[in-house]
């Protein structure tokens, strides 16, 4: 009997050790599980197909530009330009936003009008100044590539078409998660040494004194909602959400960008008009640009040189490796 219970306890110990050793800590996310649409559940094969398409320049008019030309991994899925440029160096309309954590957003683009990632895929492809293509031409071209046609049959059980293109790219985009910055290790995992004392002071400024968290809330550092930090005048080329419904109370409202990886995503704002994080801090310290419909909570504040540095070090600690 005694040997039996010894064997049992030994067995139990082995199970515990096994579970602890094989448990992948990096997969424990601070974010909730990604919810996939009913008609676009995620599979490994679908993600792989979406990824290939995301990097494929044949999705553009002249095989010059892929999604990844503007959403570059090394720049946290942005392009370093004030305004994006598309096929034949045509100037697009806005600054390229990062795509990290789009899986958690429910509206897309700076005017927040696109309601799903699936629908969004069509926008850059058809935009004259981005990929400049037409669906008829693109689908015919991609369907003629055996690699894509075979994958479409295998993953979706149908010929390569717009459904396959939009579903697979959107499915890949939902894997672009950024939740592992030094700040996350400090704040969520309670690793005191993960960020510097200066960055900790910066976090206090950001969240308590300056209340930047009113719009750039945790854990995504955005509420994914439309806000107005005062950059728009009546003569601005881009009036923000106004272009959707011509409602004057929408002038100057833009979807709040996430600040995750903002050390890598310069230049800033929808028009890429602020070059550095110093410029952004100056901008807010002056009380914003006093543009049309600017929200009242964007107010001037006094900030010392060393505090600016703290704030900047905090913002940089949001970078994911
Ligand atoms: C020429 C550069 C360029 C190319 C190519 C491009 N994008 Fe973008 N992307 C942008 C810009 C600029 C915006 C912001 C547009 C706006 O708000 O009006 C954007 C916005 C987005 C958004 C919305 C992000 C958000 O948080 O609201 C998604 C998603 C996206 N792009 C995915 C893609 C996919 C998928 C492709 C390829 C099919 C692609 N992009 C190709 C420049 C580009
Ligand atoms: C009222 C909501 C609101 C508050 C409060 C706010 N922001 Fe913003 N923030 C925005 C919006 C909206 C944008 C995008 C505006 C645009 O594109 O023109 C933005 C853009 C930014 C950007 C540029 C991001 C990018 O990728 O282009 C940074 C950096 C930033 N804010 C930092 C801060 C800091 C620091 C504070 C506190 C001092 C702060 N924000 C307070 C709404 C807000």
- Cα(95) to ligand 1 centroid in Å equals 9
Ligand 1 close to Cβ of residue 108 (< 6 A): yes
Between 19 and 28, residue with greater pLDDT: 28
How far apart CA 133 and CA 130 sit, in angstroms, is 9
Specify the pTM.
0.92
State the virtual CA torsion across 305, 307, 312, 318 in degrees, nearest 10. Answer: 170
Domains and CATH numbers, the chain: 44-173 (1.10.760.10), 182-316 (1.10.760.10)
Mean pLDDT of the chain: 93
Nearest ligand by distance to the CA of 101: 1
Atom of ligand 2 nearest to the CA of 206: 37
- Ligand 2 contacts CB of residue 212 (under 6 A): yes
> Which of 21-25, 219-223, 256-260 comes out lowest in average pLDDT?
21-25
Burial class (CB in 10 A: 0-12, 13-18, 19+), 24: exposed
- Identify the pLDDT of residue 9: 61
269 CB within 6 A, ligand 2: yes
Pick from 79, 99, 215 the residue to mutate for probing ligand 2's pocket: most ligand atoms within 8 Å of its CB. 215
- CA 121 / ligand 1 centre spacing (Å): 8
To test the pocket of ligand 1, the residue of 70, 89, 221, 243 to mutate (highest count of ligand atoms within 8 Å of its CB) is 70
pLDDT of residue 19: 41
Q: What is the pLDDT of residues 35-50, one digit of tens each?
A: 999 999 999 999 999 9
Instruction: Give the pLDDT mean for 168-195.
Output: 97
Mean pLDDT for the stretch of residues 140-159: 98
The arithmetic mean of pLDDT across residues 186-210, rounded, is 97
pLDDT band at 29 (very low <50, low <70, confident <90, very high): confident
- Rounded to the nearest whole angstrom, what is the distance from the C-alpha of residue 108 to the centroid of ligand 2? 17
Q: Establish whether residue 312 lines the binding site of ligand 2, counting it when its CB lies within 6 angstroms of any ligand atom.
A: no
pLDDT digits (tens, 9 = 90+) for 236-282: 999 999 999 999 999 999 999 999 999 999 999 999 999 999 999 99
pLDDT, tens digit (0-9, with 9 covering 90-100), for 51-84: 999 999 999 999 999 999 999 999 999 999 999 9
Q: Residue 84: CB within 6 Å of ligand 1?
A: yes
The predicted structure's pLDDT at residue 131: 97
Which segment of 17-21, 166-170, 172-176 scores lowest on mean pLDDT? Answer: 17-21
Task: Look at residue 189 in the predicted model and tell me its pLDDT.
Answer: 95
Q: Do 150 and 160 touch, CB atoms closer than 8 A? A: no
Using the predicted structure, report yes or no on whether residue 142 has a pLDDT greater than 50.
yes
Any atom of ligand 1 within 6 Å of the Cβ of 124 = yes
Look at residue 7 in the predicted model and tell me its pLDDT: 58
Please count the residues of the chain: 321
189 C-alpha vs ligand 2 centroid, how far in Å?
26
How confident is the model at residue 321, as a pLDDT?
81
Q: In the predicted model, is pLDDT for residue 133 greater than 50?
A: yes
Dist. CA 255 → ligand 2 center (Å): 10
Residue 23 is predicted with a pLDDT of 39
Q: Determine if ligand 2 sits within 6 Å of the CB of residue 151.
A: no
Rounded to the nearest angstrom, the distance between the alpha carbon of 82 and the centre of ligand 2 is 16
Mean pLDDT of 291-304: 97
| Poorest-pLDDT segment among 12-21, 54-63, 204-213 | 12-21
């Amino acid at each position: 009997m005694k040997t039996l219970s010894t064997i049992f306890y030994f067995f139990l110990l082995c199970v515990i050790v096994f579970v602890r050793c094989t448990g992948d800590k990096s997969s424990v996310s601070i974010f909730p599980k990604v919810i996939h649409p009913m008609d676009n559940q995620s599979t490994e094969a679908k993600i792989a197909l979406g990824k290939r398409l995301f990097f494929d320049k044949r999705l553009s008019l002249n095989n010059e530009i892929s999604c990844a030309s503007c959403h570059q991994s090394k720049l946290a899925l942005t392009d370093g330009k004030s305004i994006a440029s598309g096929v034949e160096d045509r100037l697009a309309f806005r600054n390229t936003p990062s795509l990290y954590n789009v899986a958690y957003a429910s509206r897309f683009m700076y005017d927040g009008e696109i309601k799903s990632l699936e629908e969004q895929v069509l926008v850059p492809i058809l935009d004259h100044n981005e990929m400049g293509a037409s669906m008829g031409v693109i689908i015919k071209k991609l369907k003629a590539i055996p690699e894509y046609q075979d994958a479409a049959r295998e993953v979706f059980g149908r010929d390569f078409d717009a459904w396959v293109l939009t579903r697979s790219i959107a499915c890949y985009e939902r894997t672009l998660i950024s939740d592992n910055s030094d700040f996350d290790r400090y704040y969520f995992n309670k690793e005191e040494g993960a960020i510097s004392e200066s960055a900790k002071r910066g976090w206090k400024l950001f969240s308590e004194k300056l209340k930047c968290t009113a719009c750039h809330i945790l854990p995504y550092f955005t509420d994914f909602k439309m806000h107005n930090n005062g950059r728009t005048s009546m003569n601005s080329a881009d009036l923000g959400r106004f272009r959707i419904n011509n409602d004057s109370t929408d002038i100057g409202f833009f979807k709040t960008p996430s600040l995750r990886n903002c050390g890598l995503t310069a230049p800033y704002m929808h028009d890429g008009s602020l070059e550095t994080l110093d410029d952004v801090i100056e901008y807010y310290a002056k009380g914003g640009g006093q543009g049309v419909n600017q929200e009242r909570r964007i107010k001037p504040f006094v900030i010392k040189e060393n505090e600016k540095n703290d704030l900047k070090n905090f913002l940089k600690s949001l970078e994911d490796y």
